[in-house]
Each structure stands twice: as structure tokens, then as C-alpha cells.
Structure 1
Amino acid sequence: MSSSPPTDLAASRPARWNPAGWPLRTRLVAIMVGLLVLLGLVVGAAAEIYLHRTLYQQVDAKLIETNGRNRPPPLNGGGGYYRGDRPPPGSETGWIVLRLDTAGQVLGDGGIVRLSQSSEGYTDLGFSDLPGSTVAQLAAEVPDNRPRDLDLGGDLGDYRIVSSINATGGVSVTAIPLASTQATLLQVALVTGGAVLAALLIAGWAGAVIIRRTLQPLSRVAATATKVSELELDRGKVDLAQRVPAADTDPRTEVGAVGAALNRMLDHVGNALEARHASETQVRQFVADASHELRTPLAAIRGYAELSRRSRQPVPEEIGHVLRRVESEATRMTALVEDLLLLARLDAGRPLAHDPVDLTMLVVDAVSDAHAAGPRHDWQLDLPEEPVTITGDGQRLHQVLANLLANARTHTPEGTTVTVGVGQDGNTALLSVTDEGPGIPEELQPHIFERFARGDSSRSRAAGSTGLGLSIVHAVVTAHGGTVSMHSAPGRTEFIVRLPMTASVAKQPEFVTR
């Protein structure tokens, strides 16, 4: 069962946040920033924990010391009451001091320590009353003389409290507010966090600059490889002059080792390309020379065969048939030699004529010739209202059309409709040859423009072709700076030639098979 469309769509999209697809520079900066973040968290957490422990130890020391002084006063006149109208020594404003009897009742004064003015005019520490619920909450604490945090709620907030049993059997309770301590911890955390963030920003920027400069040699090596990859290496003479600069080929560094290895590889590739070009040039020269030399003996053979048939002396029918076959094969071989010579000249870069060519009239003349050669085919024209004129070699372009039409006539049965069209797309002229034949076998389509590429001769009404017609089409069109493409399916085969409206010479043959 196929997956749902959203899943397929998500899988087809590149993972933007996948580090595996990030550039090396980005990954290095990310790793560095990540390590700095981890280091900042560890240092900040350690500092905060240490400060928390230190501040709380100081609070606990004050708390225990003050609570130890929080003792009931001596009996007052034998009345049996404990009285304490002043906080114990060491108390500070905002602290809570209580003395409880064994029943949990407050003895004497107690509550929140406040600064107050006495009747004599001087200021001293006194008490403010606590709500009954707060007193009950404090009285409920276990008197184990161990400091602990306690949230008293309301306007009081968090307190550090210690409760212990005094000498009279009652309970002494002392509590210190934690607001200032918690504020200090928060401020230190904010300052530390801000400092870490600022350090991350500075380190990230500096790291990016340093890494960018450090990786510039690698970028230059990649630029050299990119230039080489853009060269046309498949044919012709190749000037492989690109090399990694000497400054980036130091084998003691990783980038230098890569640069040196790339230069060695380019040297080997350059030598191989030169050897290949020399071999191709030799083969082309041989084909051109052989084709040129074969023209004379072939012409002589054809002449002697024709002369023998025109002799005044009667020629036996068997001998006449042999001479006709000799002349026919000589004519066929002459055409093959001419095709090979043309391809050799085009491969050698022989200049073509650059004259105005009316493609409309060229198509009309070519279709007229094709109609004479194949009268049983249905030839159709699709011409524009205005002529389409380009600059090129009219004779060679006529040969392109003749070969395309001969290909359609040879490989389609009688009665097949063949349509030849002319058009214009911007600054590009279009020639199309479409037939309604059986189509070209799929396995042959990728090789259709190669030399001596032939399908099964049984598809033809006559003998199989030499396999050079479409390669000549491709070579001539490419020499004009154009392209030729082909699309074939049973019932429709279409060749489209695209030619620039102005004179142009292509550097490399190119064709498209869709």
C-alpha cells in the first residue's frame, strides 16, 4: 500500500534542519557554539549552585545562632509567666521570632521584628503581630533544630525557619525572610546568563570569521574542481589548464593534501585527454584520406560498368545483370564514402557557408524531392504565413531535410502520412518532421544519432540504411549552433531541429532524446 500524499511530500523535501546536509563551515560553527553553550550551562550552573549553597549556609548560621538566643526570660516576680518584649540579640528587621509553651501558645511578645520608636525618643527593635494562621503554621513545625524553607503565603513569602526545644520545654521559633537571598540568586543567574549569551554571540561571530578564513583554501580547491566539471571533455581538444594554486597544495595540511591530489589527478586526466584527442585526430584524418582516395576508383568502377553496358557488341543477359549490380553497389558505396568524408570534414571543424537561407523554400524543395522518391507516401506541409530566414549553409541544411525525409520514407510503410513543418520560437527557427509510422524501438532511441546506428532492417521496405543519415543531421545542425531532438512512440515519430536565427558555430555536438 502506498503512503499518503503528505508523507510522500514531506519525504521528498530536503531536511532543512538535518545537520548532514549543512555545509562544513556551518557545521563547524554549530559544533563550536553548541560546545560553548554546554560549557556556559555547566559553568553557570556550578556558580549558581555554589552561590546558593554559600548564601544558605550564611542564612542558616545566622538563623541557628539567633534561635539559640531566643530563650524565655526569667520568671517575672514569681508569677510564672515568661515575658519577652524585645527580639533576641542578632535579630534583624523582617525576621520572625516566637516563643511557644508546651501547649503551643505564644509566650510574651513575638512576631515580626520591626523598627519602632520608644517613648523616650530612641528607636529600637520591637515586634509586629502575626496572623493566627501563620502562628499555627509555625507552631506545627517539628522542633528538630534543622533549618528548612517554608512558604508563609500572603505578603510574607518564603522564609528560612528553624524550630527547637528550649530549656523550659517550650519551643523557640526563628525565621529569616529569603526574599533578598532569592533576589541575589536571580540577579546572579541573569547576569551569568547575559554574560554567557554575549560570549556566545561574540564567539560565534569570531568563530565564523576564523573558520571562513581557515576554509578559504578548501573553497579555492572546490572552485577549481567546479571549473573542471564545467569543461566539455567528451570530444575535441581540451585545454585542461585549471590547477589548484601552489599555496593550497601543501601536503602537510589536510586541504593541501586534497589540492595536491587533485592537481595530480588533473595531470593524469589532461594527459589522457591529449592522447585521446591525438587518436581521434588520427582516425578522422585516416577516414578523410581514405574517403577522398576511394572516390576516384569508385568513379572509375561506375564508369567502366556503365561503359560496358553501352557497348555496341551484344552483352549476355547474365553479364548485363552483373554489370548493373556492380554499378548499383558502386553508387551505394560512393554515397557512403561521401557521407564519411562529410562527417570527417565536420569533425575537423571545416567552416560552413554563412548565407541567408529561406527555410520555407528549402522545405518545399525537399518535400518535392521526397514526393518524387516516395510517391506512395502522403507528404504534408505545415508552413507559416511569413518566410523564416536564417544564416547558414543552404546545401547542408537541404541535406539535413533530405536525410530526415529519407529516414521517414525508408522506415515507414507506404501510405504513411509525413508532415514537415517550419516555425519560429523567439530567435530560434524550428524544423519538424513527423510521421505516423510504427516508431523507433525504445532500445535504439538513445543511440539514434550515433554513427552506424541501425534498427532491424525488416522495418524497411528496401535494404537497411548505412546508419549515417541521422548522424549527418546531428553533425550539420550542431555545426550551425543548433540542436536536434527526437520523440518516438508507436503511431508518431517526431524530429525537431532548432536553429539560431543568426550565424553561430557550436563547440560541441549536442542532441536530446526524450
Structure 2
Amino acid sequence: MTEAARSGRSRWTLRRTLVVGTGALVAIALLVTGLVTSLALRTFVYDRLDGQVLEALQIVRVGGGMPGGSFPSDGAPGDREGPAPRIGSLHAVFASDGSVVSSSYTGDDGQETTLDESELEAITRAELPSRTPETVDLGEGLGEFRLAAQEENGMRVVAGISLAEVTATTSALTVIQVAVAGSALLLVLIGLSLVVRRTLRPLDRVAAVADRVAARPLAIGEVEIPERVPDRDTDPATEVGRVGHSLNVLLAHIESALTSRQHSEDQLRRFIADASHELRTPLASIRGYAQLSLGENAPMTPTQQRAFDRIASESTRMADLVEDLLLLARLDAGQRLRRESVDLTMLAIDAVSDAHAADPSRTWLLDLGDDDTIEVTGDENRLRQVVANLLRNARTHTPPGTRVVLALRLDGEHAVLEVTDDGPGIAPDIRDRLFERFARGDVSRNRDAGSTGLGLSIAEAIVAAHDGSIGVESTPGHTAFTLRLPLA
């Protein structure tokens, strides 16, 4: 079976499979019944016909005074004593030297005619065994006959009956069987379609519930699954009822699990937001006291000087981490962003200028294509943060002298912003989880000590809040972060 045939059959519905399969079985049963009936009738009719042929041999006699009368030796069918010949029967008497003594065929009108030479030759050529009827074709004029022969007083007597009636009977029976079987099969298919359609209605309703549940977004957010299979389709005494009942139980378990998941996520978000908010003040105080101590120019040992430097540096880094965590918690909670027109062209120009000022050791290029102005709707500050994160990511994880290109172009109904570099690339195992929180590319790239591992997570969350997408492709010598946003 070809792949296309298997694929076509696999797309059949259960209703079609049941109707076609049952219809095929009924058709096979009708075919077998018709063949057996035809063969049985044919055997029965041939047995009776052979008996009549053998009886005809007893009627045909050569010589006077025998039962059944006699035919004159001149071979004419003229007057004859005994019963009248049967319509469609024939006889022929051959002398020992093969010459024809007499022959006769009774037509449909009851008139007897003499057999012609071709018909007599066909009888002679058949070489019939003694008293064993066989089918012989006597040509287009008479057709097929059942013939039998026997030796009688030194002569060979042949008698036969035409197969025309048998052929007509079996042909009529075949036509009747085909018509009846076809009509019966058509009625069976119609009845099956109605019965199967009615029987599978509960399964259709169960499938409809499953389709509605499958269409629900269950990955994030508050989740409720109000869809349930109706009570009439949950009868455990039926197969479909067991499926419906099991589906209801499964949906209840899923809803409970999703509610527990959402509750845990909400608790975690509140904890992160509250903790981040509460940490902002003490961190600011630590940073302030460290800077105050360093600003007094009081005598300090080298160890004290380095300790205060590290306190100020790490408190600044921790404050940045707290701000990032707080922003992620707010984005996860669905914080609404500003919706205003943002000129991505100016945003890209400013971002490349800032990157060049911050790190002139790398080559920063801008490719705006042929489009003068590309605008989207969103929060300009957050979008600037995304682009800055991507450029900072390239600066952080590539060696000096790397060529970084920020390209902006249109693609249908979307604006596409792409940041590419010719650095060492990202290891495949890191690339698959690059947008996870606290993911770091330590294996394949140099890591800046100030990196929190949240920059790309924040970028993805901001882009998702703008109904956009962000992705990455990386090979040694080429890394590309692609940002897609719907146009204004």
C-alpha cells in the first residue's frame, strides 16, 4: 500500500469507516449468496436436463416394433409413432460406417427439421461417451445442446436438448439477483448511515467539548474550564458514556492543577515584587553610606578602602538586580504598558550612538535600509530598554574588535529589528534556554561580572507585552537576535 493510500485511509472518520466496512461485508455476503444460489440452480437444472436427455435416448429407436416407435430408414422426419418430440430437442442416428440414418430437430414452433451437415459434423466431432451427457456447440443456428449417445443395434443413437431455456433461466436469475442485491445494499448503506450517525451523536458532542477545551489558552494566566460533557453522555453503561465521564474527571483534575499552579505563581510573583520593593530602600541606604564613607577622605587601610569600594559596587549591582526582578514581576502580573506611537528609526539611531559612546573598542554599524520612518505602537522607554539590552548583550559577550550591526526593515505588517555580530557565537545547549531567567552564556562567551542573567528575559517579556516575538540564531562567527513588532 502506498503512503498516499495509507494517509487517505487514516483521514477517514469513524462514521465512514463503519458504514463502508459494514457495507463491504454485506456486499460480500450478498455476492457469495448469489454465487452459491446460481451454482446450485445451474447444477440442479443440468441434472434434470441430463435426465431428460437420457430419457430421450430410450424414445429414439432404430428398427420396427420397439417401444417409442421408429423412424423410416430414408432419414426423413415424417410420420412417426410414439410421443411427440419435445420442443428444442434433437436426435440423430448414425450407421456403423458413419453415415446418417436419420436426424431431426424440433423448433420452437413444433416443426421438425433435418439437421444440416455442419450440425451433424459437430455431433460427430464431439465423440460423445456412452450415456454420458455433454455440452456441445452446434453453431450459430442451434447453439449449445446437452447431448448423449448410445449404441443401438449396431448404430449410434444421439439425443439432445437445447440449453437455451437453461441459459435464459440462469441469466434471468442473475439479473434478478444483481437488482435485488444492489437495492438491498443501497438500503443497507442508507440505514447504516442513519443508524451510525444517530449512534455517534454522543461521541460528536464529547469531541465538541474536547475541541472547545483545546482552543482555550491554558499555558498562562487565570484558567477556568467550564466546559463539561452533558450528563446524558456520561452513562457508564455505554462506551461513549465511559469516555464522556472520564473526560469530565480529567477536565476537573486539569482545572484543579492549573488553579494550584496559578496560585503558586501568583504567590511567587507577589513575593518577588514585595521583596524587591522592600529591598530597594536598604540597598539605597547601603550604597549611600558607602559613598559617604568614601567621600570623607578619612584615613583608611587598603583593606578598608577596597571593602568600601566593593560594598558600593555590589550594592549598585544588587539594586539593578532588584529593579530587574521587580520589572519582571510587574510584567508577569500583566502590567499595562503605555500605548503611543514609537519611531523605531530614531530609537535605533540613538541606541547605536549610545553603544558607540559606551564602548568604542567594537565596530557599531546601523542599517536602516530604504525605509525612512518605521513606527510601531507601544511603550517607547521599554522598547529602548529592549534594544539597549540586545546591544549590551553583544558588548558583554564578544571580544573587542567585534563588528555589531543593528538593522531595521519592514516585513509585511511587521517591523523587524535585528542585532548581529561576528563574535564566537552561543553554544547550542545555552541557546535553547537563553531567554530563561538567570541564563548565562558562560560556556561560549566571556561574561561580565555585572551581568544578572535577566536582560534577555526582560526583553522577551517586554516584546511579548507588545504582541511581538524575539528569537536568536547563532553559529560560530555569526549571532543574530531578531525582534518582530506589529506596525502601528
- 1:141 to 1:313, Cα distance in 2 relative to 1, 3 A: closer
SS at match of 2:405: strand
Query: How far 1:412 sits from its partner (Å)?
Result: 0.6
Which of 467, 473, 486 aligns to 1:487? It is: 473
Task: Indicate the percent of aligned positions where both proteins have the same amino acid.
Answer: 43
Which of 49, 73, 77 aligns to 1:85? It is: 77
RMSD between superposed Cα atoms in Å:
2.5
Instruction: Extract unaligned runs of 5+ from structure 1.
Output: 1-9, 117-123, 503-514
Cross-structure match for 2:69: none
Instruction: Extract unaligned runs of 5+ from structure 2.
Output: 66-71
Cross-structure match for 1:303: 288
Is 1:99 equivalent to 2:99 in the alignment? Answer: no
Q: Distance in 2 between matches of 1:474 and 1:115?
A: 99
Q: In 1, are the aligned partners of 2:148 and 2:159 still within 8 Å (CA)?
A: yes
Which of 377, 385, 402 aligns to 1:399? It is: 385
Query: How far 1:176 sits from its partner (Å)?
Result: 1.3
Cross-structure match for 1:345: 330
Cα deviation, 1:294-353, whole Å, max 9, x if unaligned, reads 000000011111111111534444322221111110000000000000000000111100
Q: Distance in 1 between matches of 2:84 and 2:50?
A: 13
- 1:11 to 1:380, Cα distance in 2 relative to 1, 3 A: farther
- 1:358 to 1:141, Cα distance in 2 relative to 1, 3 A: same
Cross-structure match for 1:470: 456
Q: Distance in 2 between matches of 1:226 and 1:359?
A: 40
SS at match of 1:15: helix
Q: How does 1:52-201 map to 2 (within 5 A)?
A: 52-74=42-64, 85-86=77-78, 89-107=83-101, 109-114=102-107, 125-131=111-117, 134-135=120-121, 137-138=123-124, 141-142=127-128, 144-166=130-152, 168-201=153-186
Mean Cα deviation higher: 343-352 or 368-377: 368-377
Query: What is the TM-score when the length of structure 2 is the normalising length?
Result: 0.91
- Counterpart amino acid of 2:296? S
SS at match of 1:250: coil
Is 1:50 equivalent to 2:40 in the alignment? Answer: yes
Cα deviation, 1:263-292, whole Å, max 9, x if unaligned, reads 101101110110110000000000000000
- 1:418 to 1:358, Cα distance in 2 relative to 1, 3 A: same
Q: In 2, are the aligned partners of 1:72 and 1:84 still within 8 Å (CA)?
A: no
- Counterpart amino acid of 1:92? R
Q: In 2, are the aligned partners of 1:163 and 1:171 still within 8 Å (CA)?
A: yes
Q: In 1, are the aligned partners of 2:233 and 2:241 still within 8 Å (CA)?
A: yes
Is 1:269 equivalent to 2:284 in the alignment? Answer: no
Cross-structure match for 1:243: 228
Cα deviation, 1:16-70, whole Å, max 9, x if unaligned, reads 465x664322221222112111211122112212321332233233323332111
- 1:394 to 1:53, Cα distance in 2 relative to 1, 3 A: same
Query: How far 1:126 sits from its partner (Å)?
Result: 3.0
Q: Distance in 1 between matches of 2:487 and 2:345?
A: 14
SS at match of 1:463: coil
Cross-structure match for 2:486: 500
Q: In 2, are the aligned partners of 1:408 and 1:418 still within 8 Å (CA)?
A: yes
- Counterpart amino acid of 2:96? T
| Stretches (4+) displaced over 6 A | none
Q: Distance in 1 between matches of 2:447 and 2:460?
A: 25
- Counterpart amino acid of 2:201? Q
Q: Distance in 1 between matches of 2:187 and 2:126?
A: 53
Is 1:455 equivalent to 2:441 in the alignment? Answer: yes
Q: Distance in 2 between matches of 1:429 and 1:14?
A: 44
Is 1:280 equivalent to 2:265 in the alignment? Answer: yes
Q: Distance in 1 between matches of 2:284 and 2:84?
A: 131
Q: Number of aligned pairs?
A: 480
Mean Cα deviation higher: 31-40 or 145-154: 145-154
Query: What is the TM-score when the length of structure 1 is the normalising length?
Result: 0.87
- Counterpart amino acid of 2:105? I
SS at match of 1:352: coil
Q: Distance in 1 between matches of 2:118 and 2:447?
A: 118
Q: In 2, are the aligned partners of 1:376 and 1:414 still within 8 Å (CA)?
A: yes
Cross-structure match for 1:211: 196
Q: Distance in 2 between matches of 1:414 and 1:299?
A: 33
